[in-house]
Chains A and B, each alone.
Chain A
Amino acid sequence: MTKTDKNKRSIFVRMDKLATIGLGIISFILGIGLWWFATYVGSTNLPSPIDVVIRCFELAGNGQLFVDIFASMRRVLIGFLLGVSIAVPIGFLMGWYRLARGLIEPWIQFFRVIPPLAIIPLAIVTMGIDETPKIFVIFLAAFLSSVVATFQGVVNVDRTYINAARVLGASDWVIFRSVVVPASTPFILVGFRIGLGSAWATVVAAELIAAQSGLGFRMQQAQLYYDLPTIFVSLVAIGILGLIMDRLVGRADEYLTRWQEKGTA
């Protein structure tokens, strides 16, 4: 491939991207316009976009919004980091040792079908009503998706890579470190992405049920007072933060697995 070829192609890619962004903006404006129109003609009792923006400034101005965001983010990050840092070693263990797999897998398969939220009553009764039960269910959500992904990643490592390492004189430990870990990284990162998504979903729901702070709590309070603009602001914040976190993991994924041959999709 010559250099000019490459340049040409990257220009095309950029134009494509610009077009996509442009369409996105147009679609956004149309959507908001439609919403505003619907509230303007009074065909719905939802707040208008303007009400929501005003409430957003109020909540941001008195700092309430940031306090809520901080409370929710803190729970998610602590739970998520705890979850994945325990999930990855256990997933490796399960993929590498038959014994570990046999002992651990039934439990994981069982807990995997229970929605983490369903653990909340149990967690509250046994752990009290402060941060611990909430962080625990988020931990569980992140742990379960990451442990399965890691384990799948190890099981799916191409035998050819392992054989190629063995014939070059690699010991089991070297194979693990230099082949199994990098080869399963793409799987693990998919698990992280799903784990973070489900942790975020779980925190909001957990706060709806039992919390004195956070975006979920704020919505639950607003519901009591029929305060629709605050509910909207919270929802939009949840969406935007979820998107940002997903993008961050996505970027990390792209970077760490840039060696992968991607099919021309």
Chain B
Amino acid sequence: MAQPEPKIIFRHVNKIFGEGPGAFQAVKDFSLDIAEGEIVTVVGPSGCGKSTVMNIAAGLIPLTDGECLVHGREVKGPGPDRGVIFQQYALFPWLTVRKNVEFGLKLKGIKPEERRTLAEHYIEMVGLSDFADSLPKMLSGGMKQRCAIARAYAVDPEVLLMDEPFGALDALTRVRLQEQLLETWSQDKRTIMFITHDVDEAVYLANRVIVMAARPGRLSKIIKVNLPYPRTDEIRLSEEFIRIRNEVWRGVYSRGADAA
């Protein structure tokens, strides 16, 4: 069985911020392959380089050393083939929900009527049809993030990079958005790299959970989640889920794992 080429490849990636005595190694020798259609979640203590790694794949931060390839091509800068969703939503506050969603479509040169139809579709997908002409300030945190998701999906990226997208939301909204994310994914099977500090969320979403450790930021453990999709409530409450969750928890928090 021939393995298809991974969608995202990190090969011995190093990132050093600054130069000279003030230089700081944020990521050390990070290597990871993410297969097409896979959901990989990344957990680890704050400051361990999760965002840095993701931003390297997004093309927002240049790497110092090593290689990062997305769909077989070296990452040279950001592009609409990789949708990014930020924790701070990053909606343009001066644009309505509709205009936000249309922003990337416009840059792709899509005609106004088609733009509108497409935007309409994605706004409906995230359940914001009633707020299509509202400004972001009228939306709750969860609605803002749904709008950001619609904006990212609208340009039809092959890869989704999500940096703690649900981190600022209340538990109930978070669970709902997790379910929605998986539901959409079950239809389009996009490749997703998802950063979180929530161990439960990491296990619930992932094919594989990547545990990172700090000082220097590095990959410490890869934990495979052998649970079927769709991830029902039974699965979320199953013993296997809890066992994996505990394993991830120990990977992130136990001193023993960190010292190893």
Q: Which residues of A pack against B, CB within 8 Å? A: 160-161, 163-170, 174, 178-179, 182-183, 185, 258-261
Contacts and interface: CB of A to CB of B under 8 A. Distances in A.
13 contacts: A163-B60, A163-B78, A163-B86, A164-B91, A164-B92, A166-B78, A167-B58, A168-B80, A183-B94, A259-B94, A259-B95, A259-B136, A261-B137
Interface string B79-106: 1101110101011111100000001100
B177 interface: no
Contacts of B60: 163, 166-167
Nearest to B80: A169
A167 B82 contact: yes
B188 to A, nearest CB: 18
B151 interface: yes
B155 A169 contact: yes
Chain B interface main SS type = loop
A169 B90 contact: no
B92 A167 contact: no
A93 to B, nearest CB: 22
B23 interface: no
Nearest to A261: B137
Nearest to A257: B94
A185 to B, nearest CB: 8
A260 B135 CA distance: 9
Contacts, number: 64
B171 interface: no
Contacts of A179: 92
B172 interface: no
A160 B93 CA distance: 12
Contact of B103 (A178, A185, A261): A178
Given A165-B92, A169-B107, 13 more contacts: A160-B88, A161-B90, A161-B92, A163-B78, A163-B90, A166-B59, A168-B103, A169-B78, A169-B80, A259-B93, A259-B94, A259-B137, A260-B137
A179 B135 CA distance: 16
A182 B92 CA distance: 9
Contacts of B78: 163, 166-167, 169
B135 A259 contact: yes
Contact of B84 (A167, A170, A174, A258): A167
A107 B92 CA distance: 34
A221 to B, nearest CB: 49
A165 B79 CA distance: 10
A168 B92 contact: no
Given A260-B137, A261-B137, A167 B80 contact: yes
B250 interface: no
Nearest to B151: A168
Interface in B22-49: none
Contacts of B84: 163-164, 167
Nearest to A164: B90
A72 B252 CA distance: 70
Contact of B108 (A166, A169, A182): A169
A145 B60 CA distance: 34
B53 to A, nearest CB: 15
Given A160-B88, A163-B84, A169 B104 contact: yes
Nearest to A168: B104
B90 A174 contact: no
A152 B92 CA distance: 19
A170 B107 contact: yes
Contacts of B90: 160-161, 163-164
10 closest Cβ pairs, A-B complex: A168-B104, A164-B90, A169-B80, A167-B84, A259-B94, A182-B94, A261-B137, A160-B90, A166-B78, A167-B78
B103 A165 contact: yes
B119 to A, nearest CB: 13
For A166, A169, A174, A259, which residue has the most chain B Cβ atoms within 10 angstroms? Answer: A169
Nearest to B109: A169
A161 B84 CA distance: 12
Nearest to B108: A169
B62 to A, nearest CB: 13
For B77, B86, B93, B151, which residue has the most chain A Cβ atoms within 10 angstroms? Answer: B93
A237 B108 CA distance: 55
A13 B93 CA distance: 25
For A167, A170, A174, A261, which residue has the most chain B Cβ atoms within 10 angstroms? Answer: A167
A163 B79 CA distance: 11
